[in-house]
Amino acid sequence: MPVITNIEDLRVLAEKRVPRMFYDYADSGSWTESTYRANEADFQKIKLRQRVAVNLENRSTATKMVGIDVKMPVCIAPVGLTGMQHADGEILAAKAAEKFGIPFTLSTMSICSIEDIAEHTTAPFWFQLYMMRDRDAMARMIERARAARCSALVLTLDLQVIGQRHKDLKNGLTAPPRPTLANIINLATKPRWCLGMAGTRRHTFRNLVGHVKGVSDMRSLAAWTNEQFDPRLSWPDVAWVKERWGGKLILKGIQDVEDAKLAVASGADAIVVSNHGGRQLDGAQSSIEALPAIVAEVGSQIEVWMDGGIRSGQDVLKAWALGARGTMIGRAMVYGLGAMGEAGVTKALEIIHKELDVTMAFCGHTKIETVDQGILLPGTYPV
């Protein structure tokens, strides 16, 4: 086993162990992938100010996200098909997050169901909702999240239409997957993955199959989802979800100041500055570049979080310094899961936490709550 010291080590191992079509699904962006790359690259432009001769005992990265205690300002983002990175992937990631002390968010398009996660964890988790045309199905999904004691609902707003990801088309990643010769040959080189999948009954989108009228298998599911992503989604629908849910509501996919103001007016509890990991509108701003203007406009009225490009604890600290009061990690978690299952997710969280803690110390702080823009070198960060 190689020595794992950073998220990139986990990515390299995941690439070796996860079938190509599923690895590429997670590790790709739309069209030219320029926004996907910018999400990471723009963090690297931001420089830190080192401070010395400060008492650095008793450090803490603990804070709250929508009133929930967290060990660090990080939660696991909703990622579709997580259960195809590793058998029972969502369950394993949720268990790792619970033990570590941060929230886990389950995607609508997960392989393990809401009920699966509730059965295998004790801490309340979060559920991410994609708005579909079938409002009865959406109402039932919200009720299932409530029955599972989910403590927040994350409504994703930037998937009314789906951005084209070239790798998925070339890999035959459809529902059901197209068994190309290249895929079959590639699967033969992943015995660990195949053995794991053979040992679980969770191979389909269990939040939908058997829960939505007319959806009984992958083929009928494919037909349903192709028709169901709702291009009509608008702010009155957000109000409908808020009224139905009644609990903490987080709106994900905000990239523009005007939309941030509308999100505040909707009564949401938090917004996530996110471009869907560069998987939707290619050519859009990176999340970290879009963050400061949104924080300046609405940060005093609502919790602003960010998602996209976080590969280290330093990235988390930079986002916090620019006003994000929480961050979401998707790919960093996926790499850990694909590499080593639950232990890999735990390793990813440990790496990010240690990097966050040590970097905070080098910048002269012992509490994340006291960190502000002052830790950043002027002229190196977006304003």
Catalytic residues: 276
- Supply 97's token pair: 């997050």
Q: How far apart are CA 27 and CA 166, in angstroms?
A: 12
Cα distance between the two ends of the chain: 43
Helix axes 135-147, 235-245, angle to 10 degrees: 40
H or E segment at 273? strand 270-273
Task: Tell me the pairing of strands 74-76 and 68-70.
Answer: unpaired
Alpha helices in the chain (DSSP H): 7-17, 20-26, 34-44, 89-100, 114-120, 135-147, 166-171, 181-187, 191-198, 218-228, 235-245, 257-265, 287-298, 313-321, 331-362
Q: Are 77 and 105 in contact (CB under 8 A)?
A: yes
At position 15, the amino acid (one-letter code) is E
Residue burial 337-368, b: 16+ Cβ < 10 Å; e: rest:
bbbbbbebbbbbbebbbebbbebbebbbbbeb
| Matching residue, tokens 């699966």 | 116
Q: How far apart are CA 308 and CA 82, in angstroms?
A: 17
Closest CA to 80 of 105, 103, 108, 104: 108
Please give the backbone phi and psi of residue 285, each rounded to the nearest 5 degrees, phi first: -60, 150
Residues found in the chain: 383
Q: How far apart are CA 142 and CA 146, in angstroms?
A: 6
Q: How far apart are CA 190 and CA 341, in angstroms?
A: 14
Closest CA to 270 of 292, 300, 303, 246: 303
